[in-house]
Each structure stands twice: as structure tokens, then as C-alpha cells.
Chain A
Amino acid sequence: MSSIPAPLLWTVILGLAVGSYALRFAFIGFMGGKPIAPWLMRHLRYTAVAIIPALVAPLVVWPAPTDGSPSLMHFAAAAATLAAGYLTRNVLCGLGAGGVSLLLLYLAA
């Protein structure tokens, strides 16, 4: 796996540290009791649930272990992870189900 250049890594760490802190501090620190606009609140609610699936979808359809060629095995493991996480509402159950199904498929192949 390619190594990440140190200057990039530290820029990312510092940038994220400052940026994340600013987001967390924004309202509790500066805005006092001022309410946040409802339309903004409405969009903020869906940022994580939009960005993370957008990031993961190409990784599932064109998985890295097969150098990007679509693979039923990886797709099935991904589907099992998502389904288990959704049904149990528990991140670890999802991850466990995904890991086990990946292992089973790998052994079966």
C-alpha cells in the first residue's frame, strides 16, 4: 500500500483538528442562545448520511482487492454489513457480520 507523505498527513491532521474544533465551538462558543436557521439545520442533519455512502459506494462496486473489477464476493459482504448494521442499529454487529461473511466467501472461493 502506498505510504502517505508526512507533510500531507500533518496538514490533514492539523486542518481537520482546527476545522472540527471550529464546527464544534461555533454555536456553543460564539452564537450564545441564537437559534440556528431551520433550513440550515435540515441540511446539516443529512451531511454524514450523504457523504459516507457517497464515499463507500465506489469502493464496493470497484473494490481495491480485485484492482477495481466488480466482485460478487465483496458486494455480498458489503450488503451483509449494511443489512446487519441497519437491522440491529449497532455498528459492531454490522462490522462483525461483514467480517464473517467476507471470511466465509473467501474460504468458499
Chain B
Amino acid sequence: MAITTTKSAFWKGFRDSAPFIFMASPFGFLFGVLAAEAGLIVPEAFAFSLAVFAGAAQFTALQLMQENAPLIIILISALAVNLRMAMYSASLTPYLGDAPMWQRALAAYFMVDQSYALSIVKFEAEPEMTAPQRMAYFFGTNGIVAPAWVIATAIGALVGTRIPDSWGVDFVLPLAFLAMIGPMLRTPAHIAACFVAVATALPAAALPYNLGLIVAGIAGMIAGAQAELWLERQKTKMEAAQ
């Protein structure tokens, strides 16, 4: 159904994003529980989710703080996980770049995986949407998911303080990361990036100051980019041969 008004665009985004509540809430809750286990109090966990608003980066920072990694490594690693947000920002600019500055400034805060994924698909499918409608749709995709994420964190932190240490939840964080990796492995290039990062990270774990993480991350990134180039060249060759 075509979108006719700005208001209906917002509600369309709102409805399209509804299934993501079932993703954001448990993950926010889990972050809250693990933050509480790491010694964070409820307002700290709440502020963390509200200010940073990026699940994978928050889990990364939480893990590294518990490993007593140096501040600079914590920041670099968690921000590296968030570098994809710059890509989202670049990719949405042709669609949202003409909006007023205050709207763009606000939109930047809400630039997350699910709002990007829903919006880019919508904007490409319906090029006749006006700029205000696009912005409304984008904000709509965050209308319920964003509050759900932050509130779930706070509830998780409340519950987390009541979980006895003997339950041994300290392997849950690695499992959460692994669950995130699975769906990320979309192409052979993603798998190459993951494989090289793991193969580098294990021996590099011997490096001081958690530097191994940065080294392995860079190695994986380069592997992914090179694999992508190689795959493209193979495809071109195949097409030329036909």
C-alpha cells in the first residue's frame, strides 16, 4: 500500500518495526542482567543503553571492562563494532540528506541496524515518497523498538542484581556474541572476515593490553574486503567467458 501522508508514513514504520521488539527486548534485558552481574547499578545500566544505544558495542565494552583492558582499547574496539553505523549514515544520506538539520541530528541518534534495514528497503522500493515522509517512516521504525531496548535494559539490571553468582552466567556473554555472529555471515566474504579474525585472535591473545583484538579485527576487515574484490573479479570473468 502506498503511503499518502507524513503521519501514515510514521505509523507504517512503527508497524513494520513491531517484530523487532521480540529481538530488542530480550537483548536489552540480557544486557541489563550481565551489566548487573558485572557490578553496574540500575541507573548505570540504564544510562549506558540510553547514551550509547548500540547493543553489540555495549556488550563489547562490558566484556573488555571486565577483562581490565585499557580504556583506549575498550573505546577503539567498541567503536570499531559501531563503524557500520557510519556506513548506514552514508547509505541513507541520498534519501534523508535534504531534511532540516535538527531532524538529521535526531535521526543520527536512532541510526541502528533495524531502523536502517527497514528504511533502506522501503526507500528503494518506493522512490515516490517525499522527504518528510521518509523521515517520518525512519522515526516510526524507532517508535517502539528504542523505548523497548532501554526499558528492557533497566528491567534486566533490576533482575540481574537478584541472580546469585553461583548460577555462573559468565559464559552467557560469549554465547550472546556467537548468536549475533551467525546472522552476520551473509556472504562468503563475511565468512572469510570472520574466519581470519578468529585465526588471528587466538595466537594474538598473547599480546599485551588486549591489542590482539585490534590486530585480529583489522586482519578480518582486510580479509573481508579482499574476498569481496576477489569474488567480484571471479564473477566478471565468468560473465566475460559466457
Pairing of A with B? yes
Q: Are B177 and A55 in contact (CB under 8 A)?
A: yes
Given contacts A85-B183, A92-B22, contact A23 B175 (CB under 8 A): no
Which chain B residue lies CB-closest to A2? B66
A47 to chain B, nearest CB (A): 4
Given contacts A19-B79, A61-B202, contact A46 B220 (CB under 8 A): yes
Given contacts A2-B66, A41-B90, A94-B179, contact A51 B80 (CB under 8 A): yes
Bound together, the chains give a CA A65 to CA B167 distance in angstroms of 11
Q: Are A48 and B81 in contact (CB under 8 A)?
A: yes
Range class of the A interface residue count: 35 or more
Bound together, the chains give a CA A72 to CA B19 distance in angstroms of 35
B1 at the interface (CB under 8 A from A): no
Residue among A20, A44, A56 with max Cβ neighbours from chain B (10 Å): A20
- Out of A36, A49, A63, which one reaches B224, CB within 8 Å? A49
- Out of B51, B81, B171, which one reaches A17, CB within 8 Å? B51
Residues on A with C-beta less than 8 A from B77 are 51, 55
Bound together, the chains give a CA A90 to CA B182 distance in angstroms of 8
Q: Mark contacts of A1-39 with chain B using CB atoms, 8 A cut-off: 1 yes-contact digit, 0 otherwise.
A: 111100011011111110111011111110111011001
Bound together, the chains give a CA A87 to CA B205 distance in angstroms of 29
B178 at the interface (CB under 8 A from A): yes
Determine, out of B3-11, B52-60, B139-147, the stretch whose residues face the partner at the interface.
Answer: B52-60
Q: Mark contacts of B17-46 with chain A using CB atoms, 8 A cut-off: 1 yes-contact digit, 0 otherwise.
A: 000001100110010000001111000100
B117 at the interface (CB under 8 A from A): no
B12 to chain A, nearest CB (A): 21
Residue among A3, A14, A50, A59 with max Cβ neighbours from chain B (10 Å): A50
Q: Are B82 and A19 in contact (CB under 8 A)?
A: yes
Q: Are B88 and A41 in contact (CB under 8 A)?
A: no
- Out of B93, B97, B170, B185, which one reaches A64, CB within 8 Å? B170
Pull 21 A–B residue pairs with CB atoms less than 8 Å apart, ordered by A: A8-B71, A13-B48, A13-B51, A16-B57, A23-B79, A25-B105, A32-B97, A42-B225, A43-B221, A48-B56, A48-B84, A50-B221, A51-B81, A52-B60, A53-B181, A57-B202, A63-B171, A65-B168, A78-B178, A98-B178, A98-B179
By a beta-carbon cutoff of 8 Å, the part of chain A in contact with chain B is 1-4, 8-9, 11-17, 19-21, 23-29, 31-33, 35-36, 39, 41-65, 74, 77-78, 81-95, 98-99, 102
